[in-house]
Structure 1
Amino acid sequence: MAEMARVIQQEHGSVEGTLLSITAEAVRLIPGADHAGITLVVRNRRIESRGATDELPRRVDALQEETGQGPCLDTVWKHHSVSVPDMAREDRWPQFAPAASEAGVRSMLTFRLYTHHDHLGALNLYSDAVHGFDDADDDVGVLLATHAALALVAAEQEHNFESALATRDVIGQAKGIIMERYDLRADAAFAMLVRLSQDWHTPVTDLATKIARREPE
C-alpha cells in the first residue's frame, strides 16, 4: 500500500495521469480485478469515463449513461460501495445488467471515489470471472479509494492553480499590448479589455488570448 501511495503521488499535477495510476494500481493490487476505470459525474449530469485500463470500462460507462442506471451510478449517489457477484443474474438494474453481461462483465466491485464541488466519482473494478472478488478485495479497494481520492483532489487543485497562473499571464500580456497600442495605464487597459469582451460576447480570457497571439478580430 505504501508503494501504491508513492506511485500515485508521483502523478500529482496531471489529473489524467493520476487517474491512470489509480486504475493501474487497482489491477496490480487486487487479484480479482482484470479491468478498472473511473466514472466521473460532472455537474450532476454528464458521465465521463476516465483512467480506463482498456475499452471495457468505457463501454460500461456508456451503457450506464444510455440506461441511466448501474452500480457505478448507485455508488456515486447512494452507497459507498457496491458489489455485483454475478452480472448475468443481477436484477437491480434491469436495463443495464443484461447489456453489461453481454459486453463481457462477469462481476464488479465499485467504490465512491470522492465528492468535490460539482464532481462526483467512483472507482470501478471488473472481473472476467463470476464471484471474482472477496472480502479482502473489498478492504483493499476501500483503502485504494481513500488514497486515490486524496491524490485526485490534490492533482485537481494543482491543475487549477496552474490554470489560474496561465490565465493571469495571458491577461497581463494582453493588457501590455493594449497599453502600448493605445498609450493607456494598466487599469484603463484592463477596463478596455473587459468592455470589449462584453461588447463582443467573448470571455475575457479568450479575448486576451487572441490579443496576446495578435490574432485578427
Structure 2
Amino acid sequence: MHDAGGVEETVQAVVDFALQAVDCQYAGVALYARGKQPEVPAATHPTVAEIYRFQMEGEAGPLVECMRSHAAVVVPDTTSEQRWPEWAKKVLELGVRSVLDVPLRTATGTVGVLGLYSVEADAFGPDAEAIAHILARHASVAVATARREHNLNLAVDARKLVGQAMGILMERYGLDGDRAFLVLKRYSQQTNTKLHNVARQLIDTRALPRS
C-alpha cells in the first residue's frame, strides 16, 4: 500500500489486500471529499459502487453511520437488519448478507471508510473485525500520505504556472516580479477565478480573463 504511486493506486491496493486478509467477496473504499459527496476511488466489484451510491443518495446505511460516528459498523445479516430497512432490502437483492464498515482514521481525523461485504451471514466475527481494524490503520496512513503528496504536487504545478504567467507579463509590459504578481492577483479577485487558473489562461491564450 505504501509503495503505490498515488491516491487511486493506494486505495486499490487496500481493497485488493482486504480480500486476502479478511474472508469476504467484495471490498471498497469511500473517501471524504471536502464540501462534496464522498468519493469511491476503488472497489473490487461493481456491486460495491452500487451499494455506496444507494447509501449516499439516501443518506442512510452503515457507510453513512460509520462516517458520522467515526466508529465501525457491523451488519451481521441483511435479512434481519432493522436500522436501515430500505438499504438492507437493496443490498440483499445484490446477494450481500453481511457488512463491515471500518473508519480510516489518522491523528488529524477520519479520511474515509473501508467497506467489506460477504455473501454469507455472520461472516465478520471478532477475529475478522480485529484484522479489518489493523488493515484500516495501515490504509489510513497510506491514503493520507498519498493525498498529501498529491496536494503538494498540485501546489508545485500551480506555482510553476504562476511563475510562467508572471514571466509573460514582465516581458510584455516591462513589469517587475512584484507588479506582475499583483496583476494576476487582481484579475483573480475581480473574476472570482483561482490564481493558477488565471495563470493557465494567460499561458494558453496570451490574454487575461475579462473582468
Same fold (TM over 0.5): yes
1:70 alignment partner in structure 2: 61
1:20 alignment partner in structure 2: 12
Name the SS for the 1:140 alignment partner.
Answer: helix
2:201 alignment partner in structure 1: 210
Name the SS for the 1:156 alignment partner.
Answer: helix
1:191 alignment partner in structure 2: 182
Are the aligned partners of 1:115 and 1:121 in contact in 2 as well (CA < 8 Å)?
no
Provide structure 1 residue ranges, at least 5 long, that are not aligned to the other structure: 1-7
2:161 alignment partner in structure 1: 170
2:50 alignment partner in structure 1: 59
Identity rate, percent: 34
Counterpart mapping for 1:123-138 below 5 A: 123-138=114-129
Name the SS for the 1:9 alignment partner.
Answer: coil
Instruction: Give me the TM-score of the superposition, normalised by structure 2.
Output: 0.91
Counterpart mapping for 1:69-108 below 5 A: 69-108=60-99
Q: Which has the higher contact order (CA 8 A, sep 6+)?
A: 1
Provide structure 2 residue ranges, at least 5 long, that are not aligned to the other structure: none
Matched, 1:201 2:201: no
Q: C-alpha separation between the residues in 2 aligned to 1:20 and 1:102?
A: 26
RMSD, aligned CA = 1.9
Are the aligned partners of 1:48 and 1:61 in contact in 2 as well (CA < 8 Å)?
no
One-letter code aligned to 2:59 = G
Q: C-alpha separation between the residues in 2 aligned to 1:132 and 1:99?
A: 19
Name the SS for the 1:89 alignment partner.
Answer: coil
Alpha-carbon displacement from aligned partner over 1:157-215 (angstroms, at most 9, x marks no partner) = 11111111111011000000110010110001111111122233322110101112235
Q: C-alpha separation between the residues in 2 aligned to 1:175 and 1:117?
A: 36
1:3 alignment partner in structure 2: none
Alpha-carbon displacement from aligned partner over 1:81-111 (angstroms, at most 9, x marks no partner) = 1111111211111221111111222111110
The offset of 1:115, in angstroms, is 5.9
